[in-house]
């Protein structure tokens, strides 16, 4: 593939669509593609390619990439609070991961939460109670996010050993 050559990029996408051997390699992500290409320096963590959200300028996002069950996933808990400060980034990341996990569990995009809410958890409790006639509280919604993260970590433990920072985030 040649940089800037859109026809060659389209040809690679067609390989994925056709289900060719090359397409299967490409369609299975950066780790599989790098392995098949004998590339050892891969911009990925936990099998997840690094997104465009650079953690060097937003410290908590770097912690999220390291500690989240999802790896280097920008939807796993971006942090923009106190971005360059080193202190308290573990807590900052965990807060963002719980929010992201709650959103994922409910099938709701964090960017679609209406403004003016004191907390997304208030919004989610109101939403679930209105839809299902339940009596959920904002604290219940936080617990949903925490339980989701715990379930994801349990799943990952069966696949690969846990990094020490996960224990600090529990």
**120 within a domain of the structure (yes/no):** yes
Q: Is 45 helix (H, G, I), strand (E, B) or coil?
A: strand
Alpha carbon of residue 71 to chain centroid: 7
Q: Which residue has the higher pLDDT, 26 or 85?
A: 26
Query: For residue 168, is pLDDT > 80?
Result: no
Please enumerate in sequence order all residues whose Cβ is within 8 A of that of 54, keeping only pairs 6 or more positions apart, or say none. Answer: none
Q: Give the domain extent around 59.
A: 53-169
Please enumerate in sequence order all residues whose Cβ is within 8 A of that of 158, keeping only pairs 6 or more positions apart, or say none. Answer: none
pLDDT tier for residue 163 given thresholds of 50, 70 and 90: low
Query: For residue 5, is pLDDT > 90?
Result: yes
Same domain, 34 and 61: no
Do 48 and 70 meet the contact criterion of CB atoms below 8 Å apart?
yes
The neighbouring-strand residues paired with 49 are 44
**151 within a domain of the structure (yes/no):** yes
Q: Indicate the average pLDDT of the chain.
A: 87
Same domain, 75 and 129: yes
The per-residue pLDDT for range 75-108, each reduced to its tens digit, is 898 888 777 788 899 999 999 999 999 999 999 9
**63 within a domain of the structure (yes/no):** yes
The per-residue pLDDT for range 53-80, each reduced to its tens digit, is 778 888 889 899 988 998 888 889 888 8
Per-residue DSSP letters for 103-129? HHHHT--GGGSPTT-S-HHHHHHHHHH
Q: How far apart are CA 168 and CA 114, in angstroms?
A: 32
Q: How far apart are CA 118 and CA 135, in angstroms?
A: 19
Q: How many domains does the chain have?
A: 2
pLDDT tier for residue 156 given thresholds of 50, 70 and 90: confident
């Amino acid at each position: 593939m040649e940089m800037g050559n859109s026809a060659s990029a389209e040809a690679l996408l067609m390989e994925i669509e056709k289900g060719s051997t090359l397409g299967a390699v490409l369609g299975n992500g950066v780790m599989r593609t790098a392995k098949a290409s004998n590339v050892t320096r891969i911009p990925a963590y936990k099998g997840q390619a690094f997104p465009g959200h650079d953690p060097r300028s937003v410290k908590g996002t770097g912690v999220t990439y390291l500690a989240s069950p999802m790896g280097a996933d920008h939807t796993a808990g971006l942090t923009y609070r106190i971005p360059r400060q080193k202190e308290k980034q573990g807590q900052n990341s965990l807060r963002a991961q719980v929010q992201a996990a709650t959103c994922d569990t409910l099938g709701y995009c964090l960017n679609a939460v209406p403004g003016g809410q004191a907390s997304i958890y208030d919004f989610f409790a109101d939403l679930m109670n209105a839809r299902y006639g339940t009596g959920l509280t904002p604290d219940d919604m936080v617990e949903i996010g925490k339980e989701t993260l715990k379930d994801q970590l349990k799943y990952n433990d069966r696949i690969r050993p846990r990094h020490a920072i996960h224990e600090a985030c529990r």
